[in-house]
Amino acid sequence: MSTRPIDRQLMTMTLVSLAIGPAALSLAGCGRSQSGNADPAVATIVSAIVVSQVASISVPAGTDFKPLAAAGSSALTVSDRAELRGAAPNTFAPSTSTGTSTSLYGSAVKVGSIRSLPAVTIGASSTVSGSVVSGSTITGAPAGTPVLPNQPLVASTFKWTVPFDTSTTVVTVNSGTRNLAPGSYGTVQVNGGTLVLNPGTYFVDNLILNSGTTLTLNNASAPIFLYVRTGLAFRTAMTGTAENLLLVYLGTTGTAIESPFRGTVVAPNASLRMGVGANPHTGAVFAKTIVIDPDVKLTQKTFARWDLIPFDVGVAPTLNCVAQLDATRFGAVFGYSNTTGTTVALGAGPHNFFSPGDADRGQPILFVPGTVPIASVQTFAAGASLSLKIGDRAVTASATSPACPADLRAALTQLYVDTPDSLAVRQAIADFVRHPRFAGWAAAVRAASGPQTTPFQSSLLDAMDLVIANGDLLADPGTLTAQQLARLPSFRTAVLANPAIQRLRVAGDALRGNSAATVCDAIKQINRTQPPRNFLPAQPDSLFAQTLALSRLAPLANLQGVVAGVARGTQSAALLGTSGLALAGLIPENELNRLQLEGPIPTGIIGGIIGAVVGGVVGGLTGGLPGLVVGAIFGGLTGGFSEDEIAKANHRCTGNEDCFSSQVCAAGFCTDISGGVHGEFLTGVSCQPGQAQCLSDSTCGVTQVCAHGCCTERTVILSQCPGNTCSSDAQCTGANTCQNGCCAGFCGVNGSTCNAFGASLCSIPDGTGSCAIGQVCRSGCCDVQEPR
């Protein structure tokens, strides 16, 4: 790999001095001005020899460019019958565009998933293996392909500076074999014979490889970086390892790859045509405008040494301070500065990582513009250090780093030091996840949802299955065996790499752009939390009953108080140091819907799973209470499994035709869950012995009603509400309604109660008519409108 720009400039100045003699030495040394700056004459000479160029790759924000086969920053065309093949057999590779011109995919093409800021048009008889996502319209997608048009996509650019050494050295090969050493050259033209390149970095002003010639790359074990500044013609036959060639063409004149190519080509300023019909290419192409010719077969291979590229992503990590948490650990408060003026998405990996130890610690993967002083709080052992590197910049925390102020240290200690309460909650969640009925309910949700699930939902269910299978790892870390500790790294990696978790992390990171609103919302959510009361009787030892018991744990209430205290304190911004996934629990439901939570799986229950299980898991994995406690509380542990679902069901109906397509009419109210899945959730084994599953009252006996998907004797329901029996809504007070002979509201059979903000009761369904200006009716209570 080339040296850093400053080192290359110093080296070039030395070479200049040697070349032009004593006069240059006086210019470079004694001939300085009084200000201490280098003499302009030397600067002129150096600038004539070292010309900085910028290479870049543009993809939709949140997209990892490394697995792509093609990415156009202005336009992308995949012509008829062309194929973008995946690295694995019988798969197809993804492609993207961040331009303004419609992304065109011809007839009978075979490609992987498509993400495009502009509109997408796909020809007849095509195959798309994956989804099609566009910031505009989508036309011609094959039947059955998941399609997401009009999405809020933005571009993310990865760029790096190339200190281009110009040279007048001309290399011409007309016959025989020329072995060219890494270095700087003017024009390199091969008219006949063979050109051999070796591992290292080449700077070439014009590269002309004519037909009838051979390019041999000795790059089986080390990479070749080939930078071309002005002109490129590629018509040669080549041999070499595709994963170890990076060809960067920085010119503005359009060019073409006219013979089979093996490597990754980047052309940020020019149009690039991948030609030669049915002949194969192997690698990837990133260019301003890309045209894949008809019948071209491009097999995706990722350049193996992207880690050697010094990407300047416009984001610099910062170290706010460190705090000693206890005798063995310190807490480091990391932030960042984004000077690009736009949001930058950068997944955890070679260009966004912690070291030593786990590279992905739940740090931000989406960076909002401006300065965020508290973006990630991490712990490290006393006597050790911890570094965060973003792009080409890094900061390191150690015991000698600037100390945090006392109030911030106190806040971090409360959030990041385990206590008997935190260990009790951790163990309770581990037990909850490992209960066989939880796995049964999760399986029932997946089975009932079938092929209707969105990609987001499917990924989230995958994450839930992974957590269930590794529930024993959620217990007190001090109690884990050596075998369990050995499983932790792969479990952590798999959870954090899950696509749905990545989406939620991005959503949470976006909230850091307005810390005041985030902390305000955090306080509101904490205050809103209250002990739930079941809407209808919870079956003994059912998952529903276990959830209620978990939500009422005294240790959880104690931790809730700790978090609430931090939220209200002078260092409330410390909450922003939680993982993006925990912060995602603060997102209003309508925003979660924008994350593709629509579909057959109820949003409230998915929200509960996110908060109680996956949010808690990430909290445990990333070493602090925020993910564990904030994830469980803010994600809606109780809301997802009880009150939210009850509130949604408080829409009266006489038949299924009165409900939305994803709902059924049960017990006179619309519900989002089919009888079988809801019964599984309530009882763990469908319905109780002697009870039948149901979708409506009409399927039950004369003395029974359909309650939570199970035919239930009306007397059982009435026995749960002494003093609250009714025959009509008029006999109920407040927002309670008469449900199967019992006055009940969204807080249960004992009456509706609004939160600590003093909000008044309001009518259901939700609306604004019965609330004050600036409030909305949410789940039976007037509440302040969620910040957008």
pLDDT tens digits for range 473-511: 877 778 889 999 888 888 888 888 888 778 778 877 887
Phi, psi of 673 (to 5 degrees): -120, 135
Look at the chain and count its residues. Answer: 788
703: number of Cβ within 10 Å: 10
Phi, psi of 745 (to 5 degrees): -135, -170
Structure-block tokens of residue 116: 């495009």
DSSP tally for the chain: helices H, then strands E? 22, 40
Find the helix or strand (DSSP H, E) in which 106 lies. none
pLDDT tens digits for range 663-718: 555 555 555 433 333 333 444 445 666 677 766 667 787 888 766 566 777 776 66
Give the pLDDT of residue 767: 42
The structural domains of the chain, with segments of one domain joined by +, span 5-51, 159-265, 315-404, 420-482+499-646, 652-721
Rounded distance, CA 619 to CA 626, Å? 6
Give the pLDDT of residue 18: 26
Q: Are 242 and 223 in contact (CB under 8 A)?
A: no
Rounded distance, CA 128 to CA 45, Å? 54
249-255: long-range contacts at Cβ-Cβ below 8 A with a sequence spacing of 24 or more?
250/53, 250/55, 250/162, 250/164, 254/289, 255/231
Question: ∠ CA 180-186-189 to the nearest 5 degrees?
Answer: 60
Residue 322 bridge partners (DSSP): 332, 403
Record the pTM.
Answer: 0.63
Q: Of 539, 589, 540, 543, nearest to 445 (Cα)?
A: 543
For 60, 135, 289, 340, 343, the CA distances from 99, given in Å and listed in that order, are 10, 11, 9, 18, 17
Rounded distance, CA 709 to CA 674, Å? 7
The helix-helix angle for 455-469 and 436-449 (nearest 10°) equals 160
701: number of Cβ within 10 Å: 10
Q: Are 186 and 169 in contact (CB under 8 A)?
A: yes
Find the helix or strand (DSSP H, E) in which 493 lies. helix 482-497
Give the pLDDT of residue 441: 67
Please, where are the H alpha helices in 317-401? none
Residue 434 bridge partners (DSSP): none
Please, where are the H alpha helices in 584-725? 589-592, 603-609, 615-621, 625, 631-634, 637-638, 644-649, 675-683, 714-718
Amino acid in the structure at residue 337: S
Question: ∠ CA 631-388-572 to the nearest 5 degrees?
Answer: 40
Q: For the CA atoms of 225, 229, 233, 239, what is the dihedral angle to 10 degrees?
A: -10
With tokens 């040697």, the residue in question is 18
DSSP 19: H
Rounded distance, CA 192 to CA 185, Å? 19
Q: In what order do the strands lie in the sheet with 352-355?
A: 352-355, 385-390, 393-398
Rounded distance, CA 726 to CA 156, Å? 59
> What secondary structure does DSSP assign to 392-427, as a single string?
TEEEEEETTSPBPPHHHHHHHHHHHS--HHHHHHHH
Q: Is 43 in a helix, a strand, or coil?
A: helix
Pairing of strands 155-165, 177-180: unpaired
252: number of Cβ within 10 Å: 12
Q: Are 343 and 154 in contact (CB under 8 A)?
A: yes
Rounded distance, CA 352 to CA 358, Å? 12
Structure-block tokens of residue 257: 């790859």
Structure-block tokens of residue 284: 């990837």
* Torsion sign over Cα 610, 612, 618, 622: positive
Cis peptide before 268 (omega within 30 of 0): no
Rounded distance, CA 611 to CA 30, Å? 67
Rounded distance, CA 222 to CA 489, Å? 29
Q: Give mean pLDDT in consecutive 10-residue pieces for the chain, a chain of 788 residues.
A: 35 28 26 37 43 88 89 96 92 95 96 96 96 95 92 86 83 96 94 96 95 96 95 95 96 94 97 83 97 95 90 90 93 92 80 88 88 91 94 92 95 86 79 76 67 72 83 80 88 81 79 72 56 49 65 75 78 80 59 51 46 47 47 41 37 55 52 39 50 70 71 70 74 68 55 39 45 57 47
Cis peptide before 118 (omega within 30 of 0): no
Structure-block tokens of residue 100: 């303004």
For 528, 579, 765, the CA distances from 525, given in Å and listed in that order, are 5, 17, 21
723: number of Cβ within 10 Å: 6
Find the helix or strand (DSSP H, E) in which 482 lies. helix 482-497
CB neighbour list of residue 156: distance below 8 Å, 6 or more residues apart: 58, 59, 60, 61, 62, 63, 343, 344, 345, 346
Give the pLDDT of residue 688: 60
